[in-house]
Amino acid sequence: MQQYTQPSKQPPNAPATGKLTGRVALITGAGRGLGGAIARDFAAAGADIVICDVDMPALEDTRAAVEAADASCLALRCDISSSSEVAEMFASIVRRFGTLHILVNNAARAPTTAADEVRRNKHYAYITTPVPRQSLGFTSNLTDEEWLRYWDVNVHGMFYCTREALRLMEPQQYGRIVNLASIAGYSTISAHSPHYSATKGAVIAFTKSVAAEVAGANILVNALAPGGVATPFFQQYLGSISEEARDRFWQVIPAGRFGTMEEYAATATFLAGDHYFVGQVISPNGGAVI
């Protein structure tokens, strides 16, 4: 009987350590927060880095941190909701590095306006205190503009970047794509923001569909679905509410804290390396959703 030999699916010169040496990685929305943390962690793992954002001063800070880790870095202004700007960005990547091995679709709109804060406070009070059951009136009061602006970046932008990345990854028979979803996409934890939750649910569905499509080309697509992330925004938010409200808030997270950006970035680095995950939703969330 002829012995079966499993086909090799490693890229040329794949590092034995499973780290990211020899890889070129694009992280969108890398000017601040989790995107910047992922870029720094990828750089420490040996990757060449491409970062993009619409906030160029913040992006320059990330570029400086990446280069401080002795990684090559290309920083580009790109509004990913524009397919033409995304195409131009990928052309710049090819000119600089020749190809792309890793894409992190991190750029997204999040509910951070004053109106979002009012909804968030109302929802958190509703789920952490004994009050009569009622409709909270979130969806019925959303405007067309609020709804549509989230899809432009969170879903359309993810598609534009993924499409361009696959045009490079498919011929080389290698790629890793990490889509930033959220527990909002598969739970009620963000019922205060149905527009945001809907787009993150779409990220999860898109991840699974594309993962099944391209896994045979050794392109592994997965989603990272964070729970609370200890970003400056959420630190500021928690500082703006009463101690009693903070205590009630922590009751919905068994771990009693948010995850650090470094913890989430380490998970993204793992998904960008060598593994056997295809179409999975990896959700570090401190037990908020189990």
pLDDT, mean of residues 165-182? 98
Which CATH number is correct for 24-282, 3.40.50.720, 2.30.36.70, 3.20.20.80, 3.40.190.10?
A: 3.40.50.720
Please, what is the average pLDDT of the chain?
92
Q: pLDDT-based confidence at 17, cuts 50/70/90?
A: very low
**DSSP-derived secondary structure letter, 245:** H
Residue-level length of the chain = 290
pLDDT at 45 over 70: yes
Is it the case that residue 168 has pLDDT exceeding 50? yes
Q: Which of 16-30, 65-79, 258-272 has the lowest mean pLDDT?
A: 16-30
Residue 11 has pLDDT above 70, yes or no: no
Q: Tell me, what's the pLDDT at 15?
A: 43
Q: Among 198, 224, 220, 197, which residue's Cα sits nearest to residue 210?
A: 220
Taking the model in full, what pTM does it have? Answer: 0.92
Listed residue (230, 231, 207) closest to 219, CA to CA: 207
Higher pLDDT, 16 or 131: 131
Contact 86, 63 (CB under 8 A): no
For residues 173-195, one letter each, b for 16 or more C-beta atoms within 10 angstroms of the residue's C-beta and e for the rest, the string is ebbbbbbbbbbbbbbebbbbbbb
User: How far apart, in Å, are the Cα atoms of 7 and each of 4, 10, 176, 210, 218?
Assistant: 9, 9, 18, 22, 11
Q: What H or E segment, with its residue span, contains residue 137?
A: none
Closest CA to 262 of 230, 233, 237, 289: 230
Cross-strand pairs, 180: 224
Non-local CB neighbours of 219 within 8 Å, separated by 6+ positions: 166, 169, 170, 173, 174, 175, 176, 177
pLDDT at position 240, please? Answer: 82
What is the per-residue pLDDT for 8? 52
